[in-house]
Amino acid sequence: MPQTEPPVPEGDAPSKASFWYDPKVRAVFYQIIALAMVGMLAYYLMSNTMANLERQAIATGFEFLEKQASFEIGESLISYTAADSYAKALVVGALNTLLVAFIGVVLTIILGTFLGIARLSSNWLVSKLAAIYIEVFQDIPVLLQLFFWYAFFYEMLPGPRQAINLFEGVFVCNRGLIFGIPAAHPAWKYIGIAFIVGCAAVYLLRRWAHQRQDRTGQIFPLVRVAAAILIGLPLITWWLAGAPTAMDVPELKGFNFTGGVSVSPEFTALLLGLVLYTAAFVAEVVRAGIQSVSKGQTEAAMSIGLKPGQVLNLVILPQALRVIIPPLTSQMLNLTKNSSLAVAIGYPDFVSVAGTTINQTGQAIEGVALIMAVYLIFSLSTSAFMNWYNKKMKLVER
Amino acid sequence: MEDTRLPNTSVDDIRPPRTSIGAIGWLKANLFNSWFNSLLTLAILFLFYQIIPPFIRWAFIDSLWTSTGKECLAADGACWSIIPANFRFIMFGFYPYEEQWRPAIAIVLLVGLLIFSQYRRNWKKYLFYIWLAGLVIMGVLMKGGILGLTPVETTQWGGLPLTLLLSVFGLTAAYPLGIVLALGRQSRLPAIRSLCVVYIELIRGVPLISLLFMSSVVFPLFLPEGVSLNAILRAQVAIILFTAAYIAEVVRGGLQGMSRGQYEAAEAIGLNYVQTMRLIILPQALKIVIPPSVSILISAFKDTSLVVIIALYDLLKTTQSILGDPRWMGFSAEAYLFVAMIYFICCFYMSNFSRKLERELDTGL
């Protein structure tokens, strides 16, 4: 700022800070010191590690991934045997983590939204029950909850012979959750394709409807048409394929069930614990989001003649979601990270498989690095999504 | 002037109808204000009727409080006897039996300190010294070796004291580190800022369990030959490193809450960076972040239960090992409910405190 500088007397040099008092020099100096300290710490740890590894004759590197794993994994989405490599075992673990995280996220959002709305209910009993649920489940460590549900399956539920029949064709016993599915039939594949085609059609329809609304102001009954497409298309396919109704229901044979699909107690306990715990946090997020939209918004929207459905869709939800989505994403990430507790109840997730690998090969550094890398990929991709979303949803100020 | 009141009625007589005040009015307004809510209320009451009486019968009427595990197997109700019969082990783990009064006093001291520091009139400089003294006394009580106390190896520590020490020591040690990281992240110097950002994002991106794994299998490799840290200390280091990243983010929130004018005013009166931070910015920023810091203490308290996975005998692990005892096998529900209650009481107390503090500190700025 040359204008504000005091006039310098003729002949005198401008009062320049001496070399060591120049802020720029100091900044560089401090940064060099910081980097040097971190570098020295890293070097010290590295040299210790190298010396230790040499002494214990442990080879470094990721060659062990190609060796035979020679341990069984209880549950796997892809075919896996003990003769496969460690790399494949780790892939099985990662897929198991993704599976439990995906189902967990879907169920958590449903239960959390339900609880969040219940918390705001005008019914005193409903609101208080939701509040108690939220407080209790937030305040108990998730690991303890997992242990409880695990014990619940193995100790408190009866054996297959006395299995509890929840609904028609759904059984719960100490072997897990067993339920019937439609029997294999080629039609189901086409129905799946029909559903995906329906989703694509709805997406295109939505874009077209929005563009038309922007152009002409005419509103297209999107929800009803979309529901008709999503339900109708698979239904017609089902009917055209000869309407298969055969079910593969579980039946008690000897000491266990045959038929149907059975979900292991470990998986069910893990899912139950994670969902019930995280839903309590999601409920608070949803409640805060709904409360963040002031009542005046609803009243204003109604006063310009919008219908209740439109008020919700065009005024309330866009504003509430802007508040809800960021903390919701971080809760989903928490659920994914907490799914690593599977190792404590014996569900073969990524951490559990990596732990076994570390124990068998002694490749501790590589194993822990792999665990961290996998979870970092999850978190970094989530935060990339969040940045994209925040940019997209940023208030357009006019 | 014309009297608009109804004839022959005094003000006293015009009261709200009996059905809109008192208990009936409350019921109508809060439980039966629409057909949907009425239905909901009835459904919930029916559910209560289905669940509560059997639960009370199980937990209180048919339950056993002082018996052996064998007698429990024959009974229909809850076997609470598992708690009194193993109370000392659940609470103190493998700490020598005759010396267990020492961790007991340490717990009382810690809880007393926590309760003492929740009153804002005690938030003076001396509180810091009281805490320092308290933590030293607790350390001496637990460890022994001086003042005629029998030394107790840290490997024998367990139960509730271990849970409390890991979380409270963890938070205390992580706080300064977290502040430094937060300041680093706000720094104008690119090298320091990127170091802090990488550290914070790296730690926040991975689960605590991966750090605990690291503490149990990788830390020993980091140390020079002949030096070894025991498992509890290594886990403590992992918890500190983990918590610090979360504290850094909370403190950063406080720093960002400071208005630009505060920095400019400090610069204008000629304070340097350290003085600006120590005298102007941090005192205000840290005040804002007290409530979220209590939330971090709550998470740290719950998260210490993860040390079960690396086989440290904290409160949860001692309970689990009782359940592995053939004499007490099969009473998981009772034991876990008891431990859950301990965790719940502590966390509920703290979260209530944090909410109260938030209201009090909210000066409307």
Residue A197 lies in a domain: no
Q: Report which residue type is found at A220.
A: F
**What backbone phi and psi angles, to 5 degrees, belong to B121?**
-70, -15
Q: How many CB atoms lie within 10 A of CB B132?
A: 11
Give, for B86, the enclosing helix (H) or strand (E). helix B82-92
CATH of the domain at A104: 1.10.3720.10
Query: Beta partners for A182?
Result: A247
What pLDDT does residue B9 have?
A: 55
b/e map of B330-352 (b: 16 or more CB within 10 Å)? bbbbbbbbebbebbbebbebbbe
Find the range with the poorest average confidence among A65-79, A120-134, B7-21, B262-276.
Answer: B7-21
**Region of poorest pLDDT, from A165-169, A298-302, B31-35, B267-271:** A165-169
CB contact under 8 A, B213 and A365: no
- Find the residue in A nearest to B217 (Cα): A364
Cβ neighbours of B330 in A, within 8 Å: 155
Distance between B341 CA and the closest CA of chain A, angstroms: 8
How confident is the model at residue A221, as a pLDDT? 80
Q: Is residue A162 part of a domain?
A: no
Q: Which residues pair with A247 in a beta bridge?
A: A182
Nearest to A45 among B222, B306, B332 (CB): B222
In chain B, what residues touch A365 (CB-CB under 8 Å)?
A: 218, 221
Average pLDDT over residues B49-73: 80
**The residue to which tokens 């719940």 are assigned:** B344
ipTM: 0.86
Instruction: Give Cβ neighbours of residue B53 (< 8 Å, ≥ 6 apart).
Output: none
d(CA B75, CA A204): 64
Q: What is the pLDDT of residues A219-240, one digit of tens each?
A: 778 888 888 888 888 888 888 8
Q: Which pLDDT score is estimated for B238?
A: 92
Reported confidence tier of residue B365, pLDDT bands at 50, 70, 90: very low
> Lowest-pLDDT range, A299-303, B93-97, B279-283?
B93-97
Query: Which residues of B are less than 8 Å from A340 in CB distance?
Result: 207, 209-210
User: Chain A contacts of B207, Cβ < 8 Å?
Assistant: 337-338, 340, 351, 375
Q: Does A280 touch chain B (CB under 8 A)?
A: no
State the average pLDDT over residues A347-374: 88
Identify the pLDDT of residue A6: 52
Residue A355, chain B, CB below 8 Å: the answer is yes
A256's tokens: 């266990």
What percent of chain B has pLDDT above 90?
A: 14
- Express each pLDDT in A16-66 by its tens digit: 667 777 778 888 888 888 889 989 999 988 888 888 887 777 777 777 777
Q: What is the DSSP letter of A16?
A: P
Q: What is the mean pLDDT of chain A?
A: 83
Burial class (CB in 10 A: 0-12, 13-18, 19+), A220: middle
Res A24: pLDDT: 80
**B231-256 and B159-186 helices, crossing angle to 10°:** 40
Task: Check A138 against B347: CB less than 8 A apart.
Answer: yes
pLDDT: which is higher, B23 or A94: A94
Is A169 inside any structural domain?
no
Q: How far is CA B52 from the centre of its chain?
A: 29
Residue type, A86: Y
Q: Where are the beta strands (DSSP E) in chain A?
A: 164-167, 170-173, 176-179, 181-182, 247-248, 251-253, 256-258, 261-263
The answer, for B30 touching chain A at a CB cutoff of 8 Å, is yes
Q: How many CB atoms lie within 10 A of CB A225?
A: 16
Domain boundaries, chain B: 82-361
d(CA B82, CA B182): 47
Query: Where is average pLDDT lowest: A122-136, B125-139, B144-158?
Result: B144-158
Q: In terms of residue numbers, what domain contains A267?
A: 86-157+259-392
Q: Which of A38, A141, A371 sits opposite B195 (nearest CB)?
A: A38
Residues of B in contact with A367 (CB under 8 A): 213, 217
Q: How many domains does chain A have?
A: 1
Which pLDDT score, from 0 to 100, does residue B362 have? 67
DSSP string, A113-142: HHHHHHHT-S-HHHHHHHHHHHHHHHSS-H
- For A123, the closest of B37, B210, B309 (CB atoms) is B37
Q: Is the Cβ–Cβ distance between B158 and B93 less than 8 Å? A: yes
Q: Does A48 touch chain B (CB under 8 A)?
A: yes
Q: pLDDT higher for B60 or A342?
A: A342
B31 touches chain A (CB under 8 A): yes
* Confidence class for position A109, pLDDT limits 50, 70, 90: very high
Size of interface A-B (CB pairs under 8 A): 162
B34: nearest CA in chain A? A123
- Cβ–Cβ gap A144/B205 under 8 Å: no
DSSP bridge partners of B159 = B314
Distance from CA of A123 to the nearest CA of B (A): 5
B8: confidence class by pLDDT, cuts 50, 70, 90: low
Chain A residue nearest residue B316, CA to CA: A144
Segment A64-73 mean pLDDT: 78
Structure token pair of residue B40: 């909901």
Provide mean pLDDT across the span B198-202.
91
d(CA A225, CA A202): 8
- Averaged over A119-125, what is the pLDDT? 86
Radius of gyration in angstroms for the set of CA atoms belonging to chain B, rounded to a whole number = 28
pLDDT at A5 over 80: no
A32 pairs with which residues across the strands? none
Q: Identify which of B30, B31, B189 has the shortest CB distance to residue A31.
A: B189
Cα torsion B65, B71, B73, B74 to 10°: value is: -110
Q: Does residue A2 register a pLDDT over 80?
A: no
Q: What is the DSSP string of B271-321?
A: --HHHIIIIIIHHHHHHHTHHHHHHHHHHHHHHGGGGGGGT--BHHHHHHH
Amino acid at A76: S
Closest Cα in chain B, distance from residue A9 (Å): 24
Are the C-beta atoms of A134 and A115 separated by less than 8 Å?
Answer: yes
Q: How far apart are the first and last CA of chain A?
A: 34
SS3 of residue A171 by DSSP? strand
| Residue labelled with tokens 């001086």 | B146
What is the distance between the alpha carbons of residues B352 and B115, in angstroms, rounded to a whole number? 13
Q: Coil, helix or strand for A318?
A: helix
For the CA atoms of A369, A372, A376, A377, the dihedral, rounded to the nearest 10 degrees, stands at: 60
pLDDT in tens, B69-78: 777 777 777 7
**What is the pLDDT confidence band of residue B5, given thresholds at 50, 70 and 90?**
low
Average pLDDT, chain B: 83
Instruction: Please indicate whether, in this complex, the C-beta atoms of B30 and A147 are within 8 angstroms of each other.
Output: no
A387 inside 8 A of chain B by CB: no
Helix (H, G, I), strand (E, B) or coil at A247: strand
pLDDT at position B240 over 90 = yes
As a whole number of angstroms, the distance between CA B223 and CA B327 comes to 42
- The answer to whether the Cβ–Cβ distance between B210 and A126 falls below 8 Å is no
Pick the residue with more confidence: A295 or A133? Answer: A133
Average pLDDT over residues A182-207: 85
Identify the pLDDT of residue A187.
76
Binning pLDDT at 50, 70 and 90, where does residue A1 land?
A: very low
- Residue range B275-291, pLDDT digits in tens: 888 888 888 888 888 88
Q: Residue B54 carries which DSSP code?
A: H
Whether the pLDDT of residue B125 is over 60: the answer is yes
| Predicted local distance difference test score (pLDDT) of residue B341 | 93
pLDDT-derived band of residue A135, with 50, 70 and 90 as boundaries? Answer: very high
- Strands lying side by side in the sheet with A164-167: A164-167, A170-173, A176-179, A261-263
In a 3-state reduction of DSSP, which class is residue A173?
A: strand
Query: Higher pLDDT residue, B364 or B227?
Result: B227
Establish if A62 belongs to a structural domain.
no
Task: Match 């005193």 to its residue by tokens.
Answer: A124
Tell me the pLDDT tens digit for each residue of A241-256.
777 777 777 777 766 7
Does some domain include residue A306?
yes
Q: In this model, does residue A4 exceed pLDDT 60?
A: no
Q: CA-to-CA distance for B132 and A328, rounded, in angstroms? A: 39
Under the banding of pLDDT at 50, 70 and 90, the label for residue B176 is very high
Q: Which of A104-118, A293-307, B13-27 has the lowest mean pLDDT?
A: B13-27
Q: How far is B258 from chain A (nearest CA, A)?
A: 23
Mean pLDDT lowest among A117-126, B21-30, B238-247, B346-355: B21-30
Residues whose CB is less than 8 angstroms from the CB of residue A109 and which lie 6 or more positions away in sequence, other chains included: A282, A328
Chain B, 226 to 285: residues with Cβ < 8 Å from chain A are none
* B145-204 residues touching A, CB cutoff 8 A: 188-192, 195, 201-202, 204
Q: Do A53 and B190 touch (CB under 8 A)?
A: no
φ/ψ of A177, rounded to 5, equals: -105, 125
CA–CA distances in Å: residue B143 to residues A288, A295, B152, B156, B216: 46, 59, 5, 10, 22
Nearest Cα neighbor of A123 from B16, B47, B48, B44 is B44
Q: Which of A125, A128, A150 has the highest number of chain B CBs within 10 A, making it the mutation to test binding with B?
A: A125
DSSP-derived letter for residue A288 is H
**Residue A350 token pair:** 């990524």
Contact status, residue B76 vs residue B58, Cβ threshold 8 Å:
yes
User: What is the per-residue pLDDT for B68?
Assistant: 74
Most B-contacting residue of A37, A140, A337 (CB-CB within 10 A), to test interface: A140
- At residue B12, the pLDDT reads 63
Q: How many CB atoms lie within 10 A of CB A259?
A: 17
The CATH topology of domain B82-361 is MetI-like fold (1.10.3720)
Across the interface, whether the CB atoms of A49 and B204 are under 8 A apart is answered no
Residues A276, B4: Cα–Cα separation, whole Å:
60
A45 Cβ under 8 Å from any chain B Cβ: yes
In this complex, is the C-beta atom of B43 within 8 Å of any C-beta atom belonging to chain A? no
Question: d(Cα A163, Cα A335) in Å, to the nearest integer?
Answer: 30
